[in-house]
Amino acid sequence: MGLEYKIEWQMPEGYDPSGVLRKLPSPISPQMTEIYNYKVESDGFYFLDNLVSQAVAGHAMKVFVDEALAHGDSVRIRDL
């Protein structure tokens, strides 16, 4: 079991997440274990840290938060 987060922000109409998804590090470790997972939702990003690699999951989380801040003034991160 990992840590689940919701990164909430106001997505612009017609938002295309393909750019941010290309910036993400590989979610699979060299041992073929899932490091993190995510889902793009209408009100932000769902993020799951599987507690495999803090560095990789932290980098991915930062990519999502930076993307949200690039489109607005506020982001809310909730622990689920």
Q: What is the pLDDT of residues 17-60, one digit of tens each?
A: 999 999 999 999 999 999 999 999 999 999 999 999 999 999 99
Q: Evaluate whether 38 touches 64 at the Cβ level (below 8 Å).
A: yes
pLDDT band at 1 (very low <50, low <70, confident <90, very high): confident
Q: Give the tokens for residue 63.
A: 């990519």
Domain segments of the chain: what residues? 3-79
